[in-house]
Amino acid sequence: MQDHTNRGDFLSQATAVIVENASNDQFGVSQLAEALNMSRSNLLRKIKKATSLSASQFIRQVRLEIAMEMLKDSALTVSEISYMVGFGSSSYFIKCFREHYGYPPGEVGKIEFENENGEPELSQPGIQEVSEEKRTRNFPRTVLLVALTILLVSITSFLIFYKRPLEELKNGQPEKSIAVLPFKNESNDSTNLYFVNGLMESTLNNLQKIKDLRVISRSSVEKYRNSNKSIPEIAEELNVSYFVEGSGQKVGDQVLLNIQLIEASGDRHLWAEQYNREVGDIFALQNEVSAKIASAVQAIVTPAELEQIRKKPTNNLVAYDYYLQALDPFLSRTNEGLQQAIELFEKAIEEDQEFSLAYANIAIAYYLLEMFQAEKQYTEKINSYSDKALLYDSKSAESLTAKAFYYIQTEEYKLALPYLEKALEYNPNSSLAIQMLADFYSRLTPDTGKYLEYALKGVQLNVAANDSITRSYIYLQLSNALVSAGFFDEAEKYIDLSLNYSAENYYAPHLKALILFAKDGNVKRTRNLLIKEWQKDTTRLDILQDIAKFYYVEENYDRAYYYFKKFAEERKKRGLNLYISENAKIGMVYEKVGRQEEAEKFYKSFSEYCEKDQSIYKSVNLAVKYMHEKKTEQAMEQLKIFSNADNYPYWYLLIEKEPMFKPLKSDPEFNRIMQRIKDRFWAKHDRLRTSLEAEGLI
């Protein structure tokens, strides 16, 4: 009897804590354990014993119970409630709700429940009755009462302060994902096409500023410009709920625009409008169209987002016409197109010297022109144009991205990050900002969790890029993010997709070999795959140094020297500053084959690298440096420091195989440190999986 009471008290306390934190989508098992002053393992054991659920399932069930009561007792929409109970994605909420209750949240109010007297109420013919037992799934009654008590306060407070006048959807809230299909040019004059494309682009840009919408990128919809596919077929490919279709033309000073909003699931027209406006009213027209679309899909538009949407890019219509002409070549991302766009943007600036968007796009174009070039010639132009863009509009996603590109160009990465994050705040659907953030957390300032988050978001926005090569590289990046975070099966799935879309993908076979190695540790097969790939293009330094490292880890120094020598000579010949962090390995290999003088040069270069290193890997690099210098105690201290780090990629779990650390392997403390590094990585992996599943990203 006592045990039963304690169990009830524990569940009531746990439920109260979850309810209190229901709106926090970051609140999970670790946070619950901390709030209850118990270890994670003890929490897992007690919840399992009391409910037969895992801790994460228990938390999710409490959230769903809260949502059920809110759906029955308030006029809030499904989408609003999903966010109030901590689901980062309304579609994921609907999925979980359906799995738990057997019907979607939109059906609440139509289902027959029993009242306190056991009598049926809210009955509607044609809807299957759901029993109280099934509805609560054995959820403890006393626990539910705790939730309901707190809910009375939380719902009332929310209704007082949350006054957005939106109609509740009667049949459930579909995910607010939308694609703006290419507008059709109704004019016989083909030169009018840029103007019609500009109308489409402005509609897309305005909708992208709304965080409550997932807006597919232009590159993903361009392939449907002349497509005969039906709306349901396109919806399946793009995975969206709504479409915007339009057609228009410019006749003299008049703009003729036909636009309609379509619900994908039933190919049903929700809203359509014909406009005949003067060119001078173009910005008001664009704002009106965006507002009506957002209202029709019941998207939450914040005052800050509304301010961004209503902002005029320029008051000069001649400047705006040049700007529209520049968009198509600018978005082509080819060198020729970017150069053509720069000329047109500059003409726009001649007409309006405060045209922020034109300045920003020139800066971005210059950055893209030499992004992969060793010699940079446009750095000062990028800086100057981005500064002017920010001067005339400091809240523009384009201005902020342009300035971030300047800092990336000058390798001041910490200064670039706030600009990219702010850009995404002003344009939550910016595929460019998301792609750059993914690259940033992969290459410039590593963070496996954030890298994977942005890679997944990038796939969502670019789900159907207009050519197979682009899609191949999108899946390549996602696969790399997944394997870095320890999701090997998922990584293999997406690298296979990458190769399916383009068997000629330059990097995919290299990554696939490494993913297979992560899954089973087969060194010989991996090395053979890499050698085969390198033989296709012997200028590939990335593969060359990986082949050498596999021989190095096996302590086959003669073969490692063969490949490291080729790598080092080619790197020097081409004047590249790549893979400097590998110079200690190269030095050790040269030393082992008797080339001591050359080895010391590599060691010296590595030591200088360590002095400047500000990355999360600094302590590992210093440990290697100290082992070379026979300073084992200092090396061990640096490894201890690294064992407290987070966000490192999976590959750093393999440092225990580093030959430099061989003298430490008999030390129990070294083994404890290595185990701690592994434990921290996999704990982060588990938290990341829970978080991504909650957001509906995996």
Tens digit of pLDDT for each residue in 585-641? 999 999 999 999 999 999 999 999 898 887 788 999 999 999 999 999 999 999 999
All CATH 1.10.10.60 domain ranges of the chain, comma separated, are: 2-161
> What is the spatial distance between Cα 77 and Cα 71, in angstroms, rounded to a whole number?
8
Instruction: Provide the CB-side half-sphere exposure for 330 (13 A, CA).
Output: 28
Q: Which of 239, 163, 235, 176 is nearest to 210 (CA)?
A: 176
> What is the spatial distance between Cα 251 and Cα 548, in angstroms, rounded to a whole number?
65
Place of tokens 């390798």: 411
Residue 415: its H or E element? helix 413-426
Kindly tell me if the per-residue pLDDT of 221 is higher than 50. Answer: yes
The fold of 2-161 is: Arc Repressor Mutant, subunit A (1.10.10)
Tens digit of pLDDT for each residue in 496-554? 988 887 777 788 999 999 999 999 999 999 999 999 999 998 989 999 999 999 999 99
8: confidence class by pLDDT, cuts 50, 70, 90: low
Report CA-CA distances (Å) from 205 to 128, 153, 159, 331.
Answer: 44, 39, 32, 13
Whether the CB-CB separation of 93 and 694 falls below 8 Å is answered with no
174: confidence class by pLDDT, cuts 50, 70, 90: very low
Residue 247: its H or E element? strand 242-251
pLDDT of residue 124: 33
Interval 305-334 mean pLDDT: 88
Count, residues in the chain: 698
582: confidence class by pLDDT, cuts 50, 70, 90: very high
Tens digit of pLDDT for each residue in 117-141? 444 343 333 333 334 443 444 444 4
> What is the spatial distance between Cα 477 and Cα 473, in angstroms, rounded to a whole number?
6
Q: Write down the H helix ranges in 554-617.
A: 557-573, 583-592, 596-612
Interval 350-354 mean pLDDT: 96
Tens digit of pLDDT for each residue in 39-75? 877 888 888 888 888 888 888 888 888 888 888 766 6
521-591 carries CATH number 1.25.40:
yes
> What is the spatial distance between Cα 453 and Cα 625, in angstroms, rounded to a whole number?
33
Report CA-CA distances (Å) from 141 to 8, 60, 144, 263, 423.
Answer: 10, 17, 5, 40, 47
> What is the spatial distance between Cα 175 and Cα 280, in angstroms, rounded to a whole number?
35
State in words which class domain 440-447+454-516 has.
Answer: mainly alpha
Whether the CB-CB separation of 421 and 460 falls below 8 Å is answered with no
> What is the spatial distance between Cα 637 and Cα 53, in angstroms, rounded to a whole number?
41
The fold of 317-427 is: 1.25.40
pLDDT of residue 392: 95
Kindly tell me if the per-residue pLDDT of 173 is higher than 60. Answer: no
pLDDT of residue 268: 78
> What is the spatial distance between Cα 216 and Cα 465, in angstroms, rounded to a whole number?
9
Interval 679-691 mean pLDDT: 88
pLDDT of residue 175: 61
Higher pLDDT: 168 or 117? It is 117
Rounded (5°) CA angle 100-104-105: 95
> What is the spatial distance between Cα 334 and Cα 487, in angstroms, rounded to a whole number?
34
All CATH 1.25.40.10 domain ranges of the chain, comma separated, are: 317-427
Kindly tell me if the per-residue pLDDT of 84 is higher than 70. Answer: yes
| DSSP string covering 274-302 | EEEEEGGGHHHHHHHHHHHHHHHTT----
pLDDT of residue 385: 97
pLDDT of residue 99: 81
pLDDT of residue 612: 82
pLDDT of residue 131: 40
Whether the CB-CB separation of 439 and 454 falls below 8 Å is answered with no
pLDDT of residue 180: 87
Interval 8-31 mean pLDDT: 80
Higher pLDDT: 128 or 189? It is 189
Mean pLDDT of all residues in the chain?
81
pLDDT of residue 110: 56
pLDDT of residue 156: 34
Kindly tell me if the per-residue pLDDT of 477 is higher than 90. Answer: no
Interval 667-695 mean pLDDT: 88
Whether the CB-CB separation of 328 and 194 falls below 8 Å is answered with yes
Interval 379-394 mean pLDDT: 96
Count of Cβ atoms closer than 10 Å to residue 604 Cβ: 12
pLDDT of residue 14: 86
pLDDT of residue 386: 96
Kindly tell me if the per-residue pLDDT of 568 is higher than 90. Answer: yes
Tens digit of pLDDT for each residue in 399-432? 999 999 999 888 888 899 899 989 988 888 887 7
Residue 89 CB partners (closer than 8 Å, separation 6+):
82, 175, 694, 695, 696, 697
Q: Which of 96-110, 248-262, 426-440 has the lowest mean pLDDT?
A: 96-110
Interval 655-680 mean pLDDT: 93
DSSP 641: H
90: confidence class by pLDDT, cuts 50, 70, 90: low
pTM of the full structure = 0.56
Interval 344-361 mean pLDDT: 96
Interval 373-394 mean pLDDT: 92
Instruction: Provide the CB-side half-sphere exposure for 652 (13 A, CA).
Output: 26
Kindly tell me if the per-residue pLDDT of 116 is higher than 50. Answer: no
Tokens representing 613 are 């290193």
Report the percent of the chain where pLDDT is more than 70.
85
177-310 carries CATH number 3.40.50.10610:
yes
Count of Cβ atoms closer than 10 Å to residue 489 Cβ: 10
- Helices 317-332 + 335-351 axis angle, to 10: 170
Interval 442-447 mean pLDDT: 78
Q: Write down the H helix ranges in 485-507.
A: 488-501
Kindly tell me if the per-residue pLDDT of 158 is higher than 60. Answer: no
Q: Which range, 13-27, 104-118, 217-231, 303-317, is most confident? A: 303-317
All CATH 3.40.50.10610 domain ranges of the chain, comma separated, are: 177-310
DSSP 181: P
Interval 382-405 mean pLDDT: 94
Q: Is 245 left (phi over 0), alpha (psi -120 to 50) or beta?
A: beta
| DSSP string covering 111-150 | S-EE-TTS-EES--TTS----HHHHHTT--HHHHHHHHHH
